[in-house]
Structure 1
Amino acid sequence: MLDEAAFRNPPVAYGPMAMWFLNGRLAGQELRRQIYAMAAGGVGGIQVAARTGLETPYLSQRWFELVGLIQDAAEQHGLAVWLADEFPYPSGASGGEVVLRHPEYRAWQMEATCVRVAPGAEVDVQLPGTVALRACGVPVGGGVARWPEAISLEANVGWLQHEQLLFEPSQVYLTTRRYMSNAPRPTLSWRAPGGVQAWEIWLVAAAEITDYKFFGSYVDLCNADACTLFLETTYERYFARLGPERFSRLAGFFLDEAHPQNWSWRLPAFFRRRCGYDLVEALPALWTDVGPRTTRVRYDYRQSLTELFDESFMRPVAGWCQRRGLQLSLEVPSTRNVVQRHADVPGIDPGHDKVGVALDDVLARELPSYRGNLNFPASLAAQTGRRRVLDELFHSVGWSLTLQDMKAMLDRAAARGANVFAFHAFCYTIGGLRKWDAPPSEFEQNPYWPHFSKLADYAARLAYALSRGRRFAPVALLDPVTSVWAHSALPGLRCDETAQRLMTEWTSLMRELLAAQRPYDNLDPLLLASASIEAGSLRIGEADSQVVVLPSVTNLERVAWTRLEELVATGGTVVACGALPSEDIEPASDVIGRCHAAYGDEVGREPAFVGEGRREAAIDATSGHAAGSGDGGRREAGSGGGGRRTSFLRVASPADLLRLLDECLPADLRLVAVDDVEDTADGAGARRDFLLAQRREGDQDLFFLANASMAVHTCELALRAADAAVMRLDLETGQ
C-alpha cells in the first residue's frame, strides 16, 4: 500500500501545486529563474494563471510562446503543468472576449419586488429590472394572500424613462440647453380593485449583470453556445498554438469558480421540457409561499438550473478534456454536490484561517457549505472512482500567514479528504497593487521562503500517503439538499425556520461524526441512481457504505427512496435521525407514504425534528409492524416473516446514532483516552479536536489522525485488528 522509500522521498508530483500568478510584463529568463526556484523549494507542479496586473496580452502569440517556454522549463525539473483556463476568473469568458464579441451571451439576474396596497389605490411601481418577467396581483383576506385568486398584471406594465437630465451645450441652432431623459424601465400602472382587505403586488424582472468583477458583465453559463465559444477561444487555441504533441504533455486544465446565475433566457424552455409547466407564471413561488405548489416549483427551478448548467457547461468542458486526454481539475461553487461529478480532480477552497481559530468555529462555517466542506468533493471523488481531491489553500489570509498557519491548515485539509494541495499563490511580482490580489504570495516575496522546502516536503508526504488505496468511509450521510431548497427563497437562498432547522440538524450530525472520528461520506440523493446494492452494502464507484443515515428531511427524490428500500431488502441499514418526508417534489410521488410505512409513522403527522421528544418506534421493515419502543429511540433490526434481518432504524439524537454505530459497525481506530481522560459517550472534551482520515487497500489500512487544537495531547488509541503489524510514520522526517 505504502512504499517506505517513496514516503521518505515522494515523487515530485505529490509536492504542492503552485498557483503561479503571471501578473506583470513577462520575460522568458525571469520565468525560467522562478521555475527553478519553485522546483528547488519543493513545489511539485505549477498552475499557469493569467492574473490581474498582467501586461503581456492574454491569448496572444507572445502569450502562447511563453507558455511553451514555461512547459519546457518545468519539464526539465519534473514539474507537472496545469493551465488555469481564464484571465483572471471565473472561467467562461476567455478574458472577456466571449461577452464582448457576443453581447447576447451575457449573464442576467432576476429580482422581485412585493408591494401591499389598499383597495382603490393608484399604483405606479418600477419593476426591479429591465425586462418584465411576471406581474400579478393577489387579493389578501384575513391577512393571508389568496394565491388561487391571483390575477395577471402584465398588460398594465409599460415603459417610462426614469432618469431626467439637462444636456448642455446643445448642438441645436440658437439654444444651448436641451431637456432629455433616459434609462427606460418597465413600470406598472394599475388601480387596485375594491372588495378585498388589500392587494399584494408581485413584480419579477430580469436585468443584465453590468458590474461583475473583471469583465463588467459575466457569461450565461446556461447558454451552450456561449460555452462552445469559450472552448473555441481558449481550449482550442491552446491546442492549436502549442501543437498536439506538446499539448498532450500537459497535466490538464483548472476551471475556477464557474457557476450559473439565477436566470437564463435558455431556462424557461428547458424548464417546460423537463417539468411540463410554465416557469414564468410560477416565478413568485421562488420568493414567497404561494400554497401547496411552492415546494415543487422551488425544487423544479433549482434542479432545472442545475441540469441546464451541467448540460450546457460542465459536461462539454469535461468532455473536451477527456477527448484530448487531459485532466480537468476545478474549484467551483455548487448548487448540489453532483455538479462536480465530471471533474477528474474535484475540489473546493477552504483553508483561510490563522492558527488559534477553534476547530468548532471553523467547522461551523465550513460544514454546511459545498464550497467549504472538503468531505463533499472527497466523497464525490470516491463515488465517481477518482483518487485525487484538490484544496485551494491560503488565499486572502493576508501577509501575516506563517508556515505554522499553513501546516495547521494542511493537516485539517488532509484529514477532511484533500490530497492535492494547491497553494494560492506564487506571484510573479507583487509590484504596485498586485500585492493585494487575495494575498499573500508564498513565494520569494515572503521572508519564510528559505524555509519553505520543509513545509513542501511535509505536504508531499501527506499527499503521497493519502493517495494510497481508496477512501474508507462505511457510513453515508444523505444530503437534505432538496428539503433545504424547498424552504429557501431567492435571493441568496433565504432560509425559513424549517430550512434553518434542517441545516442545523444536518450540520450537527456531521460535526458529531467528526468528533467521534467516524469517517463518513456525504451522499447526494441523485447518486443513489447509479448505486449497486450487494448483500446489504451500497456501492457507488469506489465508495462502499454499510449504513446510510437519513437526517431530517421534508422531501426526497423518488429514485433515492427506492434505492434505500432495495438496500434494506438485502440486509442493509438505513437510520433515520429526525423528521421524515412530508411534502412531494415530483408528480405522482408516493415517497411520503412508503417512507412513513417503513418507519411506522402516520402520514400527515407534523414532522418530528431531533429533540422534540416524541416516542420513537422501531419498525420491522419486512413485516411492516411496529416492534416496540427502542432504547434511546432505537432498537436492533428485527426479522421478517422470511427470517431475514432488516434495518429501517430510528435514533433520537446524534449521540444515539454514535452508540448504534459502535454496536453494529465498530470503528477500526478509536481514541480510548486523551490526556488520560477516558472517552465519554457524548464525545465531549479534547477528543472533539481530532480529525481522522482512513484509507484502505486489501487488508491494509492507513490512518491519519490530526490534532486540530492549539494544545499538546497524549492519546491512547485502540485498533480493531487481530495480530496486526503497526507502523507509525513521521511526516516531518519521512521515518
Structure 2
Amino acid sequence: MGLSILTEKFKNPDREYTAFPFWFFNGDFTDEEIIRQIRDFKEKGIYGFVLHPRMGIPESIPYLSDIFMHYVKTAVETAREEGMQVVLYDEGMYPSGSAHGMIAAADPALASVGLTLEDSWNTQGHPPEERPVARLADGKFLVCRHNRGTIRGIHFGEDDGEAKAPLSADILNPAAVDLFLQLTHERYYAVLKEYFGTTVIGFFTDEPSILGRNGLGTPEKPFFPWTPGLEEEICSRGGRPEELAALFEGKENRTTAIYRQVITDREGRVYYGKLSAWCEAHGIALMGHPHQSDDIDVQQFFGVPGQDLALRWVAPEKGGLEGMDSVMGKCSSDAARLMGRRRNSNECFGACNRSEGGRQVPWYFTGSDMKWYLDWLAARGVNLFIPHAFYYSIEGARKEERPPDVGPNSIWWGRYRQISGYMSRLSYMGTDVKNCARVAVLCDNRDLHWKEMREFYESQVEFNYLPLRFLEACREENGKLLCGDQTYDCMFGEEKYGRLQEQLRERMPGVKRIRSAAEAGRQDMRLQKPCPSLRLTHFIKEGKECFFLVNEGEETISETAEIKITEDKNCCLAACDLWKNEYYGILVRQQEGYLAFPLELGRRESLLLLLCTEEEFREAGFRYRAEKEEIRIRGWKLIGEKPHDLQKEYEGTFYWEKERDKKKRWVLHTAAEEMVEYYVNGRFAGVTLWNPHEIELSGLLEEGENHLRIVVTGNPANRYGAADIPYGLL
C-alpha cells in the first residue's frame, strides 16, 4: 500500500475501527429514546456499543424477561439499520457468571463456595456440597463451604452489602457454567439469532470472580477459591490437601503451588473455555476481560483478548509504570499478537475520577486524563477502545453509579467527533501490524515483572511478553528466538524460572540472554540524552516502518532523535498527528546509517512517524511546516457567563497583515480550565481539552483586525459531584 493511500485511511478509518463504549442500559426504557440515543452515537462517530444492563433498571423490567428482551432487540435492530455493531453483555450486572443470581436460585448447590478453616465439623445440617476436604494434625478441618458471595445487580437495592444483592455462582463447576450459558446466552440467541455474526459480533464477559464480591470472608476466617471435588485434581498432580493449611498462614509449599495452577487451569477450562466454545459455535467472539490485570493465560480463550483500566490504577499523577496494573496494556496486546488475534481491547476510564484532599471527587475526569489514558494504551498495543461509560440515564441515583459519563453527559459530547476520530485512528494504527520488539520477556500467569520492566520503558527498549506456555511452540534459528510471526534477538527473565532454565539452555543455546535493558543492544530509535517519559512502539504497517511516540510526562520533550535505517538511500520522515488529524514532513539529516531529526512533544502529545522515500513523500502531498508564530490577543474580555452550563465566554482581537504574515503558522495559546471552543470572525475554529491549550488559526485569519471568541467550559464534577473546581481563563 502506498503512503498516500495509507494516510487517507488514517484520515478516514473504516467503521470497524470505531470505539465500542459501554452503554449503561440503566433506565425506564422507551423504544423512542433507545433509537434516539443510538442515532446520536452514530452522529458523533461511534458505530458500535457494548449493551450493558446496569443498575437503575426498574423492577418492572426483570432481567432476561420478555419486556427486557424487547428493548434489547430494539437496540440491536436499530444498530443494524444504522450500519452499527453490538457486543452483548452476559450478566446483570457484574461480575459475570451468575445470571443475576438465577443459577443459585435454580440450584442452591451451584452457589459459589470457598475453602475455609474450621475448628470442628459436623456434617449434619449442611448440604452435600459443604464437606471436609482434609482433617489437620491439630484436629481442625479444611472445609468446602458456601461463602455467600454476591454480585452487583441491575435494580436498586441489589448493590454490594444490600439485602437483594444476587448470589454469585460457582464458576469452577461445569454444571453452573452450563446453566449460565442456558439461561443467558441461549436466551439472547433465541431472540437475536438473525443478527449473530453480522450486527452482533461478540459477548462480553466481565471480570468473573470465583468467590464473587464480598465473599472473601474475614481476616480471621478467610475463604479461598474452591469447588467441590477440587482436592481430587490436586491429588492427581501430586499435591496433599492437608498442606493447603499453609494458605491460612500466608505460606507457600508444593501443594499451594499446585493448587494455584489447578485453579487457573480449571477456570480456563470450565468457565472461559465453555464460553469461548459457545461463542465460536455461534459465529461471534468471546470478548471482555479476566479478573486481574496480569491474568495472561486465560487470554487464550478470548476471540478479542482484553483488560480493564479503572479506578485510576495507573494515572498521570502516578506515572504509568507502577504496580501490577501497569502491565495490563501489554498483557492483552502481546497475548493477541502471539495467538494471531487481530484485535485486543481495554475497558477504559471506569470511575477514573481525580481526588482532592485525599477524597475521590465523583465526575472529576478531564479531557487531559482521557488523552493520557488513550495514549498510554495505544503505546502498549491496545487497538480497540471500550470507553466506560455512556449512560442511558443519569436520573437520580444513576448518576452516582460508577461515574463519570464520558459520552452524552460529558462537556465534550457536542465535539465528540474529535475524540471518536482519534480512537478510530489509533485503532487502525495498531491493527494488522508486525511489531518490531527485539526482546522477549518470559513470564507466567500473574507474574509479569512490572518492576523490572520500568527500565525498558524508560529506555525505549521495546519488548513482548512471552508466557511460559508458548515456549513449546518457540524455536531457535540463527541465534534468534522465533515464536509465531515474531523474531527476537534476546530473552529476559530465564533465571526467574529455574525449573525451565536447563531445558531452555538445551533447546535454545544460541539465543542471547539479558538481565537489563542496557544489555539489549542497538535500538531502532535512540536519543542523544535519556528521556524516561517518552514511550515508543515500533512496527510495520502496510509495508511502512512506523514509530508511535507518546509523551507520558508533564513536561515538553525536546530532543534530537535518530532512527536506524537499513538501506543506504535517501529517506524522508512523514509525521501524523492523529489527534489533530494533521500530516506533515519533518526535516532530517542522514548520517552513518541513522536518520537524525528534532523531536518535540508537548504535554499530552503523541506522534506517528513513517519512514518513506522522497517519491512517496511528494506523491502523498506531505509538506514541511512553516515556522510557528504566536497570536497575541489585546486583552481577553469576559462577555458572558452561564453557571448552569459551567461556561464562560470571552472575546479579543488580533491584527494580521496577510502579505507579511501569510508564510507563518499562527497559533493561539490560552491557559484555561477545562474545554475551550474557538471562533474566529464568526466561524468555528476548533476545540482543545487540556493545558497548555494550543490551536492553529492560520487558515481563518483575515486582513486587518480579527475577532476571536472563546467559550470555556468547566468540569461536570461541579454539577454532579458537588465540587467547586475553578473554570475559565487562568
Do both share a fold (TM > 0.5)? Answer: yes
How far apart in 1 are the matches of 2:315 and 2:268?
39
Gap runs ≥5 in structure 1: 116-128, 137-150, 155-202, 485-502, 578-656, 680-686
Shift of 1:710: 1.7
Are 1:355 and 1:710, in contact at CA under 8 Å, matched by a contact in 2? no
Kindly provide the CA deviation profile for residues 584-622 of structure 1, in whole angstroms up to 9, marking residues without a partner as x.
Answer: xxxxxxxxxxxxxxxxxxxxxxxxxxxxxxxxxxxxxxx
Matched to 1:8, the amino acid is K
Inter-CA distance 458–131: structure 2 relative to 1 (3 Å threshold): same
**In 2, are the aligned partners of 1:387 and 1:467 still within 8 Å (CA)?**
yes
What amino acid does structure 1 have at the position aligned with 2:254?
R
Instruction: Give the number of aligned pairs.
Output: 532
Aligned to 1:393: 348
Contact 2:297/2:445 (8 A) holds in 1: no
User: 1:716 offset after TM fit, Å?
Assistant: 1.8
Label 1:440 to 1:467 Cα distance change in 2 as closer, same or farther (>3 A): same
- Is 1:340 the counterpart of 2:299 in the alignment? yes
Alignment of 1:409-488 (within 5 A): 409-479=373-443
Alignment partners' CA distance in 1, 2:534 and 2:505:
31
CA contact (8 A) 1:403 1:455 kept: no
Write the distance in 2 (CA, Å) between the matches of 1:312 and 1:356.
35
CA drift of 1:346 comes to 1.0
Query: Are the counterparts in 2 of residues 107 and 218 from structure 1 also a CA contact under 8 Å?
Result: yes
Provide the rounded CA distance (Å) in 2 between the counterparts of 1:230 and 1:556. Answer: 40
Provide, for residues 439-480 of structure 1, a one-character-per-residue CA deviation record: whole Å limited to 9, x for no partner.
111222222211222111111111111214123322111126
Give the equivalent residue in structure 2 for 1:694: 538
8 Å Cα contact 1:209/1:218 also seen in 2: no
Residue 383, structure 1, aligned to residue 338, structure 2: yes
What are the equivalent positions in structure 2 for 1:314-333 lying under 5 Å apart?
A: 314-333=272-291
Q: Tell me the distance in 2 between the aligned counterparts of 1:379 and 1:216.
A: 35
State the Cα distance separating 1:63 from its structure 2 match.
Answer: 2.5
The DSSP-based 3-state class of the residue aligned with 2:388 is strand
When residues 271 and 427 of structure 1 are mapped into structure 2, their CA distance, relative to the original with a 3 A threshold, is same
Which residue number in structure 2 is paired with residue 374 of structure 1? 329
Match of 2:243 in 1: 282
Amino acid at match of 1:23: N
Question: How far off its partner does 1:218 sit?
Answer: 1.1
Structure 1 equivalent of residue 186 of structure 2? 236
Correspondence for 2:578: 731
Report if aligned partners of 1:130, 1:205 keep a CA contact under 8 Å in 2: yes
Residue 16 of structure 2 corresponds to residue 52 of structure 1: no
2:559 is equivalent to residue 703 of structure 1: no
SS of equivalent to 1:243: helix
Structure 1 residue 520: deviation in Å? 0.7
Cα deviations across residues 75-132 of structure 1 (Å, max 9, x unaligned)? 33332211011111111112221111011111112234899xxxxxxxxxxxxx9755
Aligned partner of 1:658: which letter?
Answer: A
In the alignment, which residue of structure 2 is the partner of 1:213?
A: 151
TM-score where L is the length of structure 2? 0.68
SS at match of 1:523: strand
- How much is the aligned-residue C-alpha RMSD, in angstroms? 2.8
454 and 336 in structure 1: CA distance in 2 versus 1, 3 angstrom threshold: closer
State the one-letter code of the partner of 1:660: E
Question: Which stretch has the larger CA shift, 205-214 or 469-478?
Answer: 205-214
Structure 2 vs 1, CA of residues 132 and 386 (structure 1 numbering), >3 Å: closer, same or farther?
A: same
**Alignment partners' CA distance in 2, 1:355 and 1:527:** 28
Partner Cα separation in structure 2 for residue 70 and residue 479 of structure 1: 42
Output the CA distance in 2 between the equivalents of 1:400 and 1:11. Answer: 32
Question: 2:14 maps to what in 1?
Answer: 11
Q: Distance in 1 between matches of 2:498 and 2:232?
A: 25
Tell me, yes or no, if the aligned pair for 1:384 and 1:542 is still in contact at 8 Å. Answer: no
Q: Structure 2 vs 1, CA of residues 96 and 351 (structure 1 numbering), >3 Å: closer, same or farther?
A: closer
SS at match of 2:203: strand
**How has the CA–CA distance of structure 1 residues 60 and 355 changed in structure 2, closer, same or farther, with 3 Å as cutoff?**
closer
Report if aligned partners of 2:268, 2:301 keep a CA contact under 8 Å in 1.
no
Map of 1:573 onto structure 2 = 512
1:630-671 Cα offsets, whole Å, 9 max, x none, are xxxxxxxxxxxxxxxxxxxxxxxxxxx333212xxx22122x
Aligned-partner Cα distance in 2 for 1:375–1:344: 16
Check the 8 A contact 1:352/1:393 in 2, yes or no.
no
> Would you say the 8 A contact 2:79–2:199 is kept in 1?
no
Amino acid at match of 1:225: A
Aligned partner letter, 2:63: Y
CA offset at residue 419 of structure 1? Answer: 1.0
When structure 1 is superposed on structure 2, of 67-76 and 297-306 the one drifting more is 67-76
- Per chain length, whose mean CA-contact separation is higher, i.e. which structure has more relative contact order (CA < 8 Å, sep 6+)? 1
CA distance in 2, matches of 1:520, 1:114: 50
Give the drift of 1:512: 0.4
For 1:372 and 1:86, locate their aligned partners in 2 and report how far apart those are by CA, in whole Å: 26
- Among residues 64, 72, 86, which one is paired with 1:67 in the alignment? 72
* Native 8 Å contact 2:239 2:254 kept in 1: no
Q: Retained in 2: the 8 A contact 1:355–1:405?
A: no
Q: Secondary structure at the match of 2:328?
A: coil
Q: Which amino acid in the other structure matches residue 52 of structure 1? A: M
Q: Structure 2: how far apart are the matches of 1:241 and 1:324?
A: 13
In the TM superposition, residue 532 of structure 1 has moved relative to its aligned partner by 3.8
Query: Is there any run of 5+ residues in structure 2 with no aligned partner, and where?
Result: 121-128, 153-164, 212-224, 353-361, 584-730
1:197-224 deviation line (CA, Å, top 9, x unaligned):
xxxxxx5444312252334421111111
CA–CA separation in structure 2 for the residues paired with 1:283 and 1:253 = 36
Give the aligned partner of residue 630 of structure 2.
Answer: none
- Indicate how the Cα distance of structure 1 residues 48 and 448 shifts in structure 2: closer, same or farther if over 3 A, else same: same
Alpha-carbon distance in structure 2 between the residues aligned to 1:23 and 1:379 = 34
Alignment map for 1:68-107 (pairs within 5 Å): 68-107=73-112
- Contact kept in structure 2, 1:353 and 1:409, CA below 8 Å: no
Structure 1 match to 2:659: none
CA distance in 1, matches of 2:495, 2:504: 18
Equivalent residue letter for 2:84: L
Give aligned-pair identity as a percent.
26
Q: Distance in 2 between matches of 1:541 and 1:48?
A: 35
Q: Is the 8 Å Cα contact of residues 16 and 422 (structure 1) preserved in structure 2?
A: yes
